[in-house]
Amino acid sequence: MGQVLHNDVKFVAGVGEARARLLERELGIRTVGDLLNHLPFRYIDRTRIYPIAEVTEAAQLTYVQIRARILHVAYIGEGRKKRFTVTAQDGSGRVELVWFQGIKWIEKKIEVGREYLIFGRPAFYRGVLQLAHPELETMEQALSRKAESGMQGIYPSTERLSAALGTKGMYRIICNAWALLRERIEEPLPASLREQYGLIDLHEAYYNIHFPQSAQLLQQAQYRLKFDELLGIQLGIQSRRTARMARQNGFLFPKVGERFNTFYNELLPFPLTGAQKRVIKEIRQDTVTGYQMNRLLQGDVGSGKTLVALISMLLAVDNGFQACIMAPTEILARQHFASFQRMLQGLPIRVAILTGASKAKERRTALEGIASGDIDILVGTHALIEDRVQFQNLGFVVIDEQHRFGVEQRARLWTKNQQPPHILVMTATPIPRTLAMTLYGDLDVSVIDELPPGRRPIQTFHYTDAARLRLWGFLKKQIKLGRQVYVVYPLIQESEAMDYKDLTDGYEAISRDFPLPEYVTAICHGKMKPADKEESMRQFKEGEAHILVATSVIEVGVDVPNATVMVIESAERFGLSQLHQLRGRVGRGGEQSYCILMSGEKLSRESRARLEAMCETTDGFRLAELDLKLRGAGDVNGTLQSGMAFDLKIANPTRDVQILTVTREAAASVLEADPALARPEHQGLKVLRERFTEHHDIDFSQIS
Ligand code: ADP
Ligand code: MG
């Protein structure tokens, strides 16, 4: 890209020192190029003006433009709570405009009796349409604005930034930044590739993504920019694979030894399913090739992934290596540790645990044992990736519930050795292989597509509060039968305080309605001390507590086979994959299990569809598909993207499947002809590959 793109963003008209600092702090934008890479996430049609009466709650509009005359203004409240409100109307209805800040400035601008073009985000307060901090211009100003296609980009922003730079302000500085470009943006793709895939050039694409000249050009611009991102990733993944296959530096596990055999033949608590056996075989084959294994194990909730992990780790230990398993939560790590100790009793094998909550002694045992080689298997949480965890001879790494970890965290674990250990990542979120690779990098995929025998499908029901008494009766009956019950509350950052209140209110109500000594209720959530959490989990696991009230911390992995009922409160607030994970906590023993989804009466169409889907099927793969269909950028996406290896600005691998497939082919054919991307016409591609590549352990110079 040209020189201008590297210039400090503060020199763009309308930015200056203060806003430049804010842009950097809030969005990481430092240069003109960064600013032009800040892309709109949606567009609004500025030629469309809504009659106020049409802006209803049901219409679910995110931004509206209305044309209305000011009736009167008012000041409400005092001091910091002071507000400035303006009532305006058009022929169809009234709107209230509100300012909490910058009142002095706006009151000067507003003239009662005059007509304005007003733009903002509709909200409804006691049924009245309200726009907070809208943008205003007089009709004269609006009419003098030069007409474009009418589509104006809305840019992602943060609360702090929007206060200093509104929707329109952001748009204006992007316009100003563009005006600075004196030459065309450099084109990274060879002409032949652009022609073959019908791509517009990069300069055109940037222009139209910011200032769409037509709907069609906007679409072409989006396609082009997505193409570049996904192509960059594909080039990276495929090169990386070639490099991995060229290296031949994988540890060898040729021996099936004493521990593996004794466990397999004498200690297995139950016969393995066919699918479990197949995956173990795949892992055994991988670990005798001399290549480093990079395998993703997908298997629905409850399909028995842990056992596969354990058996694979025994294989490593038998061959003289250490192994570790990293779980996303303290609870889950403790559970793995306990069950490994139980299952491995009598075998010459030493297991230790290390978590953030480990006390001094536990920590010392783990750290010293791992460094000296006394410990064979280390179970833990994120604590495993701390620098002071030094393995003597780490040969095998398992990562449980993979999507919970960021890429950095994962990568740090496998750079602990000179020679990379074999890696098994396990997830219950089913995704197609191409997509998995795009998200997680170069890997092979195994699937457990079979549940252990004797499982009865969980019955799922959806109730509202009206049915609560009946639900309580049902829970009591189950507890009388000797079973246990989970009651789970949502917890999200944005509404944390309220969510905790719901949880503790719920806990109190249940403790009252299910009185001691007949019923024992335990509680477990993130704000409790680790020791208290552990005690609650222990009570529940050992059957001392009948009911466990918890936040979704129990979502992943917890295994209490005697629990048969999962009650999910405010179920409409959970995504499908989360609901499915939660439901997977029951149905683990031989007894009929139930999942009860509690929700309010009023539900959005989407929430209703989610709850209905849950009642209809227990198949995780189908639910994941449905989720994609329902929301496009749905919950599956959210969880996937959070663990994603690459920082994508526009492409969404779960939605842009077609582009993904195309770029995969494109990358393969380019690399086939020029594996090192050494040709002059491939220099742009080389830069693209660099930009979308994880940088931890790749040395592309080895490819030839
Ligand atoms: P997930 O794949 O969700 O991690 P787990 O590994 O926690 O599932 O296994 C779920 C439950 O199934 C556990 O109680 C485990 O002991 C049990 N299990 C695993 N494999 C088998 C099997 N082959 N036969 C019967 N039960 C099994
Ligand atoms: Mg699990």
Kindly state whether residues 236 and 134 are assigned to the same domain. no
Does residue 126 or residue 417 have the better pLDDT? 126
Mutate to test the pocket of ligand 1, among 303, 307, 399, 618 (most ligand atoms within 8 A of CB): 307
User: Quick check: CB of 257 below 6 Å from ligand 1?
Assistant: no
Sequence-ordered strand ranges (E) for 355-458: 377-380, 394-399, 422-427, 444-448
In whole angstroms, give the CA distance from residue 385 to residue 327: 12
Report the nearest-CA residue for atom 5 of ligand 1: 304
pLDDT confidence band for 702 (50 / 70 / 90): very low
Burial class of 77 by CB neighbour count within 10 A (0 to 12, 13 to 18, 19+) = exposed
The DSSP string of 60-104 is T-SSEEEEEEEEEEEEES-GGG-EEEEEEE-SS-EEEEEESS-HH
Domain housing 696: 215-247+651-702
Among 400, 254, 100, 418, smallest CA distance to 409 is for 400
- The pLDDT of residue 643: 45
Which atom number of ligand 1 is nearest to the Cα of residue 273?
23
User: Quick check: CB of 581 below 6 Å from ligand 1?
Assistant: no
Spell out the residues 6+ positions from residue 61 whose beta carbon is closer than 8 angstroms to its own. 50, 55, 122
What are φ and ψ of residue 423, in 5° steps? -125, 130
Last residue of a domain, one of 114, 129, 146: 146
Kindly state whether residues 366 and 473 are assigned to the same domain. no
What are φ and ψ of residue 636, in 5° steps? -55, -50
In whole angstroms, give the CA distance from residue 423 to residue 397: 5
Q: In angstroms, what is the span from residue 253 Cα to ligand 1's centroid?
A: 25
Among 283, 268, 299, smallest CA distance to 395 is for 283
Kindly state whether residues 479 and 438 are assigned to the same domain. no
In whole angstroms, give the CA distance from residue 235 to residue 669: 10
In the predicted structure, residue 700 carries a pLDDT above the cut 60 = no
Does residue 492 or residue 422 have the better pLDDT? 422
Q: In angstroms, what is the span from residue 381 Cα to ligand 1's centroid?
A: 21
pLDDT confidence band for 667 (50 / 70 / 90): very high
Kindly state whether residues 406 and 464 are assigned to the same domain. no
Give mean pLDDT, residues 117-134: 89
Last residue of a domain, one of 425, 448, 471: 448
- The pLDDT of residue 699: 37
Q: In angstroms, what is the span from residue 585 Cα to ligand 2's centroid?
A: 10
Question: What's at 151, amino acid-wise?
Answer: M
Give mean pLDDT, residues 204-208: 95
Cβ distance 167 to 119 under 8 Å?
yes
Kindly state whether residues 374 and 489 are assigned to the same domain. no
- The pLDDT of residue 436: 72
User: For the chain, what is the domain count?
Assistant: 4
Among 486, 459, 484, 492, smallest CA distance to 542 is for 484
In the predicted structure, residue 529 carries a pLDDT above the cut 60 = yes
Q: In angstroms, what is the span from residue 481 Cα to ligand 1's centroid?
A: 23
* Residue 14 domain-assigned (yes or no): no
Kindly state whether residues 299 and 404 are assigned to the same domain. yes
Spell out the residues 6+ positions from residue 84 whose beta carbon is closer than 8 angstroms to its own. 73, 74, 75, 76, 98, 99, 103, 106, 107
pLDDT confidence band for 575 (50 / 70 / 90): confident
In the predicted structure, residue 641 carries a pLDDT above the cut 50 = no
Return the minimum-mean-pLDDT range out of 161-165, 511-515, 522-526: 161-165
In the predicted structure, residue 121 carries a pLDDT above the cut 80 = yes
Q: In angstroms, what is the span from residue 670 Cα to ligand 1's centroid?
A: 44
Kindly state whether residues 267 and 243 are assigned to the same domain. no
Would you give the end-to-end CA distance of the chain in angstroms?
28
- The pLDDT of residue 188: 94
Mean pLDDT, the chain, as a whole number?
A: 87
Burial class of 672 by CB neighbour count within 10 A (0 to 12, 13 to 18, 19+) = exposed
* Residue 668 domain-assigned (yes or no): yes
Give mean pLDDT, residues 373-393: 91
In the predicted structure, residue 680 carries a pLDDT above the cut 50 = yes
Residue 114 sits in a domain whose CATH number is 2.40.50.140
- The pLDDT of residue 451: 86
Greatest mean pLDDT range, 341-355, 375-389, 527-541, 607-621? 341-355
Return the minimum-mean-pLDDT range out of 33-37, 200-204, 444-448, 621-625: 621-625
Kindly state whether residues 588 and 505 are assigned to the same domain. yes
In the predicted structure, residue 635 carries a pLDDT above the cut 60 = no
* Residue 491 domain-assigned (yes or no): yes
Cβ distance 535 to 565 under 8 Å?
no
In whole angstroms, give the CA distance from residue 550 to residue 556: 12
In the predicted structure, residue 642 carries a pLDDT above the cut 60 = no
- The pLDDT of residue 557: 58
Mutate to test the pocket of ligand 1, among 588, 591, 593, 621 (most ligand atoms within 8 A of CB): 588
Among 42, 45, 60, smallest CA distance to 122 is for 60
* Residue 293 domain-assigned (yes or no): yes
In the predicted structure, residue 556 carries a pLDDT above the cut 60 = no
Q: Could you tell me which residues are beta bridge partners of residue 129?
A: 124
Question: What is the chain's length?
Answer: 704
What residues pack around ion ligand 2 (CB closer than 5 A)?
557
**pLDDT over 90, % of the chain:** 54
Report the nearest-CA residue for atom 20 of ligand 1: 304
Give mean pLDDT, residues 227-244: 89
User: Quick check: CB of 335 below 6 Å from ligand 1?
Assistant: no
Mutate to test the pocket of ligand 1, among 270, 277, 344, 429 (most ligand atoms within 8 A of CB): 270
User: Quick check: CB of 583 below 6 Å from ligand 1?
Assistant: no
Spell out the residues 6+ positions from residue 130 whose beta carbon is closer than 8 angstroms to its own. 95, 96, 97, 98, 122, 123, 124
Sequence-ordered strand ranges (E) for 285-417: 294-299, 322-326, 351-354, 377-380, 394-399
- The pLDDT of residue 90: 95
Does residue 100 or residue 145 have the better pLDDT? 100
Spell out the residues 6+ positions from residue 16 whose beta carbon is closer than 8 angstroms to its own. 10
The DSSP string of 302-329 is TS-HHHHHHHHHHHHHHTT-EEEEE-SS
Mutate to test the pocket of ligand 1, among 303, 564, 621 (most ligand atoms within 8 A of CB): 303
Q: What is the pTM of this model?
A: 0.69
> Tell me: the pLDDT tens digits for 459-486?
999 999 999 999 999 999 999 999 999 9
* Residue 13 domain-assigned (yes or no): no
pLDDT confidence band for 637 (50 / 70 / 90): very low
User: Quick check: CB of 187 below 6 Å from ligand 1?
Assistant: no
Report the nearest-CA residue for atom 1 of ligand 1: 302
Return the minimum-mean-pLDDT range out of 129-138, 226-235, 643-652: 643-652
* Residue 173 domain-assigned (yes or no): no
* Residue 156 domain-assigned (yes or no): no
Kindly state whether residues 369 and 428 are assigned to the same domain. yes
Kindly state whether residues 524 and 603 are assigned to the same domain. yes
In the predicted structure, residue 402 carries a pLDDT above the cut 70 = no
Which atom number of ligand 1 is nearest to the Cα of residue 589?
14
Give mean pLDDT, residues 612-621: 89
User: Quick check: CB of 585 below 6 Å from ligand 1?
Assistant: no
Among 304, 244, 225, smallest CA distance to 268 is for 304
Tell me the chain's radius of gyration from C-alpha atoms: 29
Q: Which ligand number lies closest to the CA of residue 299?
A: 1
Kindly state whether residues 235 and 280 are assigned to the same domain. no
Give mean pLDDT, residues 256-279: 94
Greatest mean pLDDT range, 156-160, 335-339, 624-628? 335-339
pLDDT confidence band for 487 (50 / 70 / 90): very high
3-state secondary structure of 245: helix
Give mean pLDDT, residues 14-37: 93
Among 686, 520, 532, 651, smallest CA distance to 209 is for 651
**Percentages (nearest 5) of helix, strand, coil residues in the chain:** 45, 20, 35
> Tell me: the pLDDT tens digits for 41-93?
888 887 789 999 999 988 888 889 999 999 999 998 887 778 899 999 999 99
Residue 287 sits in a domain whose CATH number is 3.40.50.300
Kindly state whether residues 485 and 362 are assigned to the same domain. no
Last residue of a domain, one of 419, 448, 477: 448
Q: In angstroms, what is the span from residue 558 Cα to ligand 1's centroid?
A: 11
Q: In angstroms, what is the span from residue 306 Cα to ligand 1's centroid?
A: 7
* Residue 357 domain-assigned (yes or no): yes
Q: Which two tokens stand for residue 260?
A: 């593996």
